[in-house]
Amino acid sequence: MVERRSIATLLQLPPSEDRLFGPNPSVSLNATYYEGQRSAYGRHTNPTWEAFEALIGELEGGTAVAFGSGAAATFALLLALGPRALVVADSYMGTRQLARWLGARIPGIELVEPSDLDAHLDRLAPGSVVLIETPSNPLLVTYPIATLAKRIHERGGLLAVDSTLATPVLQRPLTLGADVVVHSASKFLSGHSDVLGGVLVASDEDLVARVGEVRELTGAIIGPVEAYLCFRGLRTLAVRVERASATATTLAMRLRDRLGDTVRYPGFDSELVGPGRQQSAGGALVALELESAQQADAMLDGLSLFHHATSLGGVESLAERRGRYPGEDRIGEGLVRLSVGLEDVEDLWGDLDRALTRAGL
């Protein structure tokens, strides 16, 4: 676990290419480069992506490859590091849909229930990649990275961790034994709900080259402006995540006092979450397993600071009934996911308190 202070400081360093010029990388809008430069064409690389990649790579402890979205990064991971890949089904809906879609075309890409993971790991084929998400979206379950990495390595496999919900401020999977980290940069990394992006980080250069090849061949690239926004978002990542996580911890505890076990929060997992553990704090997401869609909708209608919208990890607080999507097939209809932003904690609590009262909760 990197010291808080060192992450916050690291985030403010100018990219090495631009150190003499100013604190920020330039937005390089070039489809082609003059002969003799280190890139020939805009699908191969771009100096603005490289600034984002250098910073997120340093945070995670590996080499980063940026993509046009988290989904594009996951696609590259499953294709490049497969063709044998197990995707744990307790994951982002789009990741499950992608795994099913790819699995129907490429035998060997499989979606597995977490309850069956043990049995699958016992007979894992060498060279397989296993993708987990911790904490998972939207159930917020935490999975033990170091234990899983050890078991998977014993069978000659690779562990990939979608760490979107934790961010490198709270959790650094490569230091715990994972081989690859994947992020939707559309969430906390950029942090302002204004851009789509994704990134993969690995310390093994061969893995990095394999995923980079998929990006170049498929053109799943991030635009230079988007890469700049991701880079700029990283400047404030530490303060945003620390504040949002502290606020969410307070809200989750008050919600649990009121609603009991219907409240899910990674911070309640004292084995894996806490100072010095796998994940240093609970993070900014809280889930409420309300009884029905009607009850959840009544609560959402009563909110005014939390906006009813999808996505997460922005500066503004959002609430969403995830069960409204037919593809969200592993959760109850009444599950509400809260993404806590940077508003004042008492204002947010007041909003939740009024909405719960209105919904008769």
Ligand X SMILES: *Cc1c(COP(=O)(O)O)cnc(C)c1O
Residues assigned a catalytic role: 43, 92, 162, 187
Figure out which of the listed residues 196, 234, 255, 338 binds ligand X, where binding follows CB under 6 A.
196
Instruction: Give the Cα separation of 358 and 320 in Å (integer).
Output: 17
94 binds ligand X (CB under 6 A): yes
- Residue (168 or 198) nearer to ligand X, CB: 198
Q: Applying CB under 6 A, does 92 fall inside the site for ligand X?
A: yes
Per-position x/- string for 125-144, each x denoting binding to ligand X as judged by CB under 6 A, each - no binding: --------x---x-------
**In this structure, how many other beta carbons lie within 10 angstroms of the beta carbon of residue 354?**
14
Q: Does 99 bind ligand X (CB under 6 A)?
A: no
- Shortest CB 117 distance to ligand X, Å: 18
**Which residue from 47, 70, 168, 173 is in contact with ligand X, where contact means CB under 6 A?**
70
* Under rule CB under 6 A, residue 179 binds ligand X: no
Specify the stretch interacting with ligand X by CB under 6 A; choose among 146-154, 182-190, 245-253, 329-337. Answer: 182-190
Pick between residue 48 and residue 339 the one whose CB is nearest to ligand X. 339
**59 vs 359, beta carbon nearer ligand X:** 59
Distance CA 359, CA 343 (A): 23
* Residue nearest to ligand X as judged by C-beta position: 70
Cβ pair 98, 52 in contact under 8 A: no
DSSP 32: B
Query: How does 231-266 read in b/e, with b if 16+ C-beta sit within 10 Å?
Result: bbbbbbbbebbbbbbebbbebbbebbeeeeebbbbb
Is 245 among the residues that bind ligand X (CB under 6 A)? no
8 A C-beta contact, residue 285 and residue 335: no
Q: CB under 6 A: which stretch of 91-99, 212-220, 240-248, 284-292 binds ligand X?
A: 91-99
Strands 198-202 and 318-321: unpaired
On whether the CB atoms of residues 227 and 67 are closer than 8 A, the answer is: no
Residues binding ligand X: number (CB under 6 A) = 16
Instruction: Choose between 267 and 313: whose C-beta lies nearer to ligand X.
Output: 313
Footprint on residues 10-69 left by ligand X (CB under 6 A): 69
| The one segment of 57-65, 88-96, 103-111, 239-247 that binds ligand X by CB under 6 A | 88-96
Which residues are registered as beta bridge partners of 183?
199
CA distance 19 to 27: 15
The residue range among 2-10, 89-97, 153-161, 321-329 that interacts with ligand X, by the rule CB under 6 A, is 89-97
Q: What is the dihedral of CA 325, 132, 113, 116, to 10 degrees?
A: -170
For ligand X, which is the closer residue by CB, 96 or 151? 96
25, two tokens: 């990388």
* Residues 6+ away with beta carbon under 8 Å from 64: 52, 53, 54, 56, 57, 199, 200, 201
Residue 148 in tokens: 């899983």
CA distance 229 to 227: 5
Task: Give the interface with ligand X as residue ranges (CB under 6 A).
Answer: 69-71, 92, 94-95, 133, 137, 162, 164-165, 184, 186-187, 196, 198
